[in-house]
Amino acid sequence: MPGVTIHGLSKETLAALSMRASHNHMSQQEYLRRLIVLNLTQPEITDLLERMEETMKICAMAIRENTEVMGGLVKEEREGLLR
């Protein structure tokens, strides 16, 4: 399988990579592979925000509908009490 080469990493970044890989008992390549796989299997934040926005719209619609129903029930109850 073809490899990937990353250019332009600072010494500090390489040192942090080395330290984290070592801390997790992995080679740098294994550590980077795991980071990439984890990153690519997680949904993008924009997808999450879109799903959250859709959920909020559905909740708002349900609240409006429930409020209307409750208003009707309260009105019926008041009319029943006045009779």
End-to-end alpha carbon distance in the chain? 83
- Residue labelled with tokens 């909020």: 56
> pLDDT tens-digit profile of 19-45?
999 999 999 999 999 999 998 888 888
Q: For residues 29 and 83, what is the distance between their CA atoms, to the nearest angstrom?
A: 81
79 pLDDT band (50/70/90 cuts)?
confident
- The single-letter DSSP state of residue 43 is P
